[in-house]
Amino acid sequence: MGVDPGPGAILRTKELGMDPTKSNSLFVSHCHPDHYTDAEVMIEGMTQGGMRKMGTLVGSESVIKGADGFEKPISDYHLSKPEKVVTMKGGERHALNEWCSLEATKTLHSDPSAVGFMLKTPDGIIGYTSDTQLFDGLAQQYKGAKVLILNVIRPLERRIQWHLCTEDAAAVIAEVKPKLAVLTHFGIAMYNENPSKQCEWISKQTGINTIAAKDGMSIYVEDEIEIKMNRQVRCDAPEEPIPPSNLPEKA
């Protein structure tokens, strides 16, 4: 399943030696360009260039229909290509196949219809928060997750509206207690504070193994969890701090 195919998703897929025509489902959590820009291209791959009606597209109401001032980012042409197109709201469930099912989770974000998910597989549950700020009940949705993936845009003591920061992530991880927590979707401020160091702080606070996602990282979820790096892509964070911008980091 492809998740939130933002800018360069198809390029990175190629660099990693992955074949987009082998995908059978695509999840787009909300209508912000860093999550949807390559959705149509990935749909083309999933449907063999639009020649075969196959695969499942799952998205928020804003992504599939347009909502709350957001126009839908995927054309009617591309929406007609998958075998199934599913609009999900928090708490709803959908079976992807006989082995895996998806439960949408609620968020608190600037796209009000944004959703995360709990992907239930024979080898365990994978949780994904998508973009959200901390709210009562956020962590409760991910209880039972073996691996929890959190979008954490800001480091310690740098909280902004609509997103998680390091201490927010620690609070969620401490309550959920997954076997592995993975932080991703970093902003410039997070990179300048070293995501791996932020993860070390969370691990010490919670006792849960917490790592920073890197380009080329693969996580194999079976009885045990195995982490490997694909050396085909550059996977290091910037060596020098990124100069501050005059623009706001995130709307």
Residue 11, domain member (yes or no): yes
Q: Are residues 226 and 127 in the same domain?
A: yes
Q: Which residue has the tokens 């083309």?
A: 44
Give the DSSP H/E element, type plus range, for residue 118: strand 115-121
pLDDT over 70 at 241, yes or no: no
Quote the CA–CA distance of 116 and 132 in Å, as a whole number: 9
Quote the CA–CA distance of 17 and 15 in Å, as a whole number: 5
3 state DSSP class of 204: helix
pLDDT at 68: 96
Residue 144, domain member (yes or no): yes
Residue 15, domain member (yes or no): yes
Quote the CA–CA distance of 23 and 42 in Å, as a whole number: 9
Q: Are residues 12 and 57 in the same domain?
A: yes
pLDDT at 232: 59
pLDDT at 234: 55
Could you give phi then psi for residue 15, rounded to 5 degrees? -60, -35
Task: Tell me what the pLDDT averaged over the chain comes to.
Answer: 94
pLDDT over 80 at 107, yes or no: yes
Quote the CA–CA distance of 52 and 24 in Å, as a whole number: 12
Q: Are residues 4 and 82 in the same domain?
A: yes
pLDDT at 212: 99
Q: Are residues 127 and 227 in the same domain?
A: yes
pLDDT at 231: 64
pLDDT digits (tens, 9 = 90+) for 60-75: 999 999 999 999 999 9
pLDDT at 11: 94
Give the pLDDT band of residue 168 (cuts 50, 70, 90).
very high
What's the angle, vertex CA 72, arms to CA 185 and CA 184, rounded to 5? 5
Task: Check residues 246 and 241 and name the one with the higher pLDDT.
Answer: 241
Q: Which long-range contacts (CB under 8 A, 24 or more apart) does 245-248 make?
A: 245/188
Measure CA of the first residue to CA of the last residue in the chain; give whole Å. 28
CA-based torsion, 176, 179, 185, 189: positive or negative: positive
pLDDT at 230: 80
Residue 198, domain member (yes or no): yes
- Of 89, 109, 144, which residue constitutes the final position of a domain? 89
Nearest to 154 by CA among 115, 193, 128: 193
Give the pLDDT band of residue 251 (cuts 50, 70, 90).
very low
pLDDT over 70 at 211, yes or no: yes
Q: Are residues 143 and 80 in the same domain?
A: no
Query: What residue type is assigned to position 186 of the chain?
Result: F
pLDDT digits (tens, 9 = 90+) for 5-54: 999 999 999 999 999 999 999 999 999 999 999 999 999 999 999 999 99
Q: Are residues 133 and 222 in the same domain?
A: yes
> Residue 148 maps to which CATH number?
3.60.15.10
Q: Are residues 56 and 144 in the same domain?
A: no
Residue 9 · residue 2 · CB < 8 Å: yes
pLDDT over 50 at 247, yes or no: no
pLDDT digits (tens, 9 = 90+) for 115-157: 999 999 999 999 999 999 999 999 999 999 999 999 999 999 9
Nearest to 77 by CA among 101, 53, 112, 109: 53
Residue 250, domain member (yes or no): no
Residue 189 · residue 157 · CB < 8 Å: no
Residue 72 in tokens: 């839908």
Q: Are residues 74 and 135 in the same domain?
A: no
Structural domain including 213 reads: 123-231
pLDDT digits (tens, 9 = 90+) for 174-184: 999 999 999 99
Q: What average pLDDT does this structure show over 105-123?
A: 99
Quote the CA–CA distance of 26 and 36 in Å, as a whole number: 11
pLDDT over 90 at 235, yes or no: no
Give the pLDDT band of residue 190 (cuts 50, 70, 90).
very high
